[in-house]
Amino acid sequence: MAELLAGDGASEPWDARWNYAYFPPSALEGVRVIGHDPDHDPVGAELQRSEAAAQGLWYENEDEGEDEDEERGDALMEEFHAVCVDVARRLHTDGHLVGALGRPLPVILYDMSDPDEMFALTRAANPPELVAEFLSEDPQGESGSLTRT
C-alpha cells in the first residue's frame, strides 16, 4: 500500500487498501466463466438450479414475460447475497478465517452490478470492529443490515 500512496498518481489511502482495483494479482485474472455454467461446473450448476427451482425462482429466458424474469432475477440476486453473508458470518463464527489466515480479517462482499451494495453486504457479513475503516467511505452512511429470511 505504501508504494501506491507514494507514486505520482498517488491513491487515496482508503482506495489503496480496500478497492479491489488495487489488489495484487490473484491468478483469477482472465477468468471468464462465472456463475451458473453447466459445461464448466455441472455439479455446482445443478445445485444452483435445484435450489432456485425449490424456491420457485428458477426460470429460463423464454418461460414468461420480461417483468416476471426481472422479478425472479432480483429475487435470485437477493438470495445469493444472503447466502454470501451467511457464509462469511459462519467463517467468522466457526473460526475458519483465523485458523486459515492467523488473525481475524474482514470478508468484503462486492457486487459489480451495484457497487454501493458492497457496504451493506460487508456490514452484515462481519463483526463491526473488522469493517469500521472500510465502512468509513459508505456513501449511504449507516447502510441497513442484511438478514437471511
- On whether the CB atoms of residues 130 and 104 are closer than 8 A, the answer is yes
pLDDT score at 57: 84
Report the C-alpha gap between 85 and 145 in whole angstroms.
Answer: 10
Model confidence band, residue 59 (pLDDT cutoffs 50, 70, 90): confident
Q: Burial, 23: exposed, middle or buried (Cβ in 10 Å; 0-12, 13-18, 19+)?
A: exposed
How confident is the model over 18-35, as pLDDT tens digits? 887 787 888 777 777 766
Under the banding of pLDDT at 50, 70 and 90, the label for residue 7 is low
Mean pLDDT along residues 33-50: 84
Which burial class, exposed, middle or buried, applies to 97 when counting CB atoms under 10 A from its CB (0-12, 13-18, 19+)? buried
Mean local confidence (pLDDT), 131-141: 88
pLDDT confidence of residue 10: 47
pLDDT of residue 145: 47
